[in-house]
């Protein structure tokens, strides 16, 4: 039995270590990239200089805004895209409105106002919300006039030169998607928003940039990007059978040999969730959707004979990234029996000496986040603080996200639950009284409370046994779960 427990413990440990090695390769790719792009047959450095539209006439672009009950932010979004520095007769705006509240009337008034300025804009409504966001995008495609389709979620405020900066990169006929970097409207609102920005910035620096540098698969991030319409059609169209329709379509398109371009130098600001319930809702959708994409696409990826081994390897770990939460959760649960084994037997000393080698994963992870964070100019000590707090935060979400991943792998279907937006950009803004605020404590919250108590007991036991090897890990778990619970219960009182 002891050997069996140790083998089970080693599996997630090896997965995390191998995942960190892939992340290390992304760091190397990112730091070594030449940062070049081809536009109209000319090689340009798109990371360091602005690209301006010089195609005449400019291609026609459809801008799709999928909306569902967004009364606080929808006007801000519509106004932003209506101000695009692009010929008015060369783009249209589709407000794909599935709303069931007063958002419908707000959109109707704003659309009528924008139409008077000569911009082609429509409020498009469906009989039902079938397929959720994917269904809305597919419905709008049936009537769109654009050769290219730009998509923005309700919490984004794209800059006026967005199309000018992105459309030129479609000069190469095999480019199917241009994705831009997410920026943050309210990063400094609270510690919660700072930690979300910390994680997202690493994704939009090392992950997207590192994969794109070596032509490995990246993903359209669901918003702040543009598709070539024929790419969507060739890849089979939008599908609602996963909660991350963007990741699913991205892989189907790239396996059809369409190329994706990632523009780190072009930013698109968005609002970060400011409540724990909103963060959990977003994390659940992202992690479960990624797990669903594993079931749907990973075998096709690995069997694709025209892809290189390195692209398959990076694609495998890209699709499997949400499994890290499962690995962390099982490592934490198994830590008690493992600790008891080490305290009562000397038979497995060699095993534990070798497991110490896996601590290099922390060093790689630190480098991964430092490279993106250093661009903020906030200094190394601020990085260390945020890195530690980010790890605590992610550990506190490990159970919640593990449930989402396991449900995704098992094929258990759940509705698309959007992340509520509050139009909260600075500390003086308040989200109290927001009608989209969730105040119901889910079952997972009570399990998280039990887990925190479990790790407190484990900590007491290991101190009693004078076995201090896993004390830092258990302290991080206690603080992580405690922090998530603190934010959750604090929100319930408002």
98 is catalytic: yes
Task: Pick the closest to residue 270 from 73, 65, 446 (CA basis).
Answer: 73
From 97, 98, 155, 201, active-site residue: 98
Q: Say how far apart CA 169 and CA 157 lie, in whole Å.
A: 21
SS3 state at 118: coil
Query: What are the CB-based long-range contacts (under 8 Å, 24+) for 303-310?
Result: 304/255, 306/257, 307/255, 310/214, 310/216
Q: Say how far apart CA 11 and CA 13 lie, in whole Å.
A: 5
- DSSP element (H, E) containing 67: strand 61-67
Decide: 285 and 200 in contact? Cβ < 8 Å. no
Distance of CA 152 to the CA centre of its chain: 15
Q: Say how far apart CA 256 and CA 270 lie, in whole Å.
A: 31
The order of strands in the sheet holding 225-228 is 120-124, 91-97, 61-67, 148-151, 225-228, 175-184, 259-270
311 φ/ψ angles, rounded to the nearest 5 degrees? -65, -40
Residues contacting 379, CB < 8 A, separation 6+:
none
Q: Say how far apart CA 441 and CA 472 lie, in whole Å.
A: 29
Decide: 420 and 438 in contact? Cβ < 8 Å. yes
- Joined together, the tokens standing for residue 491 give 């929100």
From 97, 155, 246, 248, active-site residue: 246
Residues tagged active-site: 98, 246
């Amino acid at each position: 039995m002891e050997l069996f427990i140790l083998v089970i413990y080693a599996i997630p440990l090896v997965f995390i270590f191998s995942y960190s090695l892939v992340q290390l390769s992304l760091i190397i790719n990112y730091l070594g990239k030449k940062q070049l792009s081809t536009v109209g047959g000319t090689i340009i450095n798109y990371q360091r200089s602005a690209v301006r539209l010089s195609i005449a006439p400019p291609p026609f672009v459809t801008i799709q805004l999928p909306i569902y009950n967004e009364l606080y932010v929808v006007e801000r979004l519509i106004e932003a895209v209506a101000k695009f520095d692009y010929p008015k007769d060369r783009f249209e705006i589709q407000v794909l409105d599935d709303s069931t509240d007063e958002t419908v009337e707000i959109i109707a008034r704003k659309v009528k106002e924008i139409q008077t300025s000569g911009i082609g804009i429509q409020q498009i409504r469906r009989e039902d919300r079938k397929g959720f966001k994917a269904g809305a995008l597919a419905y709008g495609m049936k009537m769109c006039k654009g050769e290219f389709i730009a998509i923005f979620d309700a919490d984004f405020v794209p800059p006026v030169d967005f199309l000018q900066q992105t459309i030129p990169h479609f000069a190469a006929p095999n480019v199917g998607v241009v994705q831009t970097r997410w920026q943050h409207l309210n990063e400094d609102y609270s510690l919660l928003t700072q930690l979300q920005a910390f994680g997202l910035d690493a994704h939009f620096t090392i992950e997207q940039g590192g994969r794109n540098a070596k032509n490995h698969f990246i993903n359209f991030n669901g918003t702040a990007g543009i598709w070539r319409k024929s790419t969507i059609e060739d890849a089979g169209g939008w599908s609602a059978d996963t909660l991350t329709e963007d990741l699913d379509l991205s892989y189907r398109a790239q396996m059809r040999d369409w190329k994706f371009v990632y523009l780190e130098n072009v930013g698109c600001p968005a609002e970060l969730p400011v409540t724990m319930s909103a963060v959990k809702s977003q994390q659940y959708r992202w992690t479960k959707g990624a797990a669903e994409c594993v079931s749907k696409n990973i075998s096709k990826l690995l069997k694709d004979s025209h892809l290189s081994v390195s692209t398959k390897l990076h694609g495998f770990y890209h699709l499997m990234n949400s499994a890290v939460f499962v690995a962390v959760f099982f490592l934490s649960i198994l830590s008690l029996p493992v600790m008891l084994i080490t305290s009562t037997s000397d038979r497995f000393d060699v095993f534990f000496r070798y497991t110490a080698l896996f601590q290099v994963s922390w060093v790689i992870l630190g480098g991964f986040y430092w490279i993106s964070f250093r661009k903020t100019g906030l200094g190394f000590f601020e990085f260390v603080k945020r890195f530690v707090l980010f790890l605590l935060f992610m550990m506190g979400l490990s159970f919640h996200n593990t449930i989402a991943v396991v449900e995704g792998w098992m094929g258990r279907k759940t509705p698309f639950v959007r992340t509520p937006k509050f139009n909260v950009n600075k500390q003086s803004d308040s989200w109290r009284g927001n009608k989209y605020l969730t105040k119901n404590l889910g079952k997972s919250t009570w399990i998280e409370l039990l887990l925190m108590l479990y790790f407190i007991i484990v900590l007491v036991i290991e101190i009693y046994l004078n076995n201090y090897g896993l004390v830092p890990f258990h302290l991080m778990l206690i603080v992580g779960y405690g922090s998530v619970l603190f934010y959750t219960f604090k929100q319930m009182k408002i």
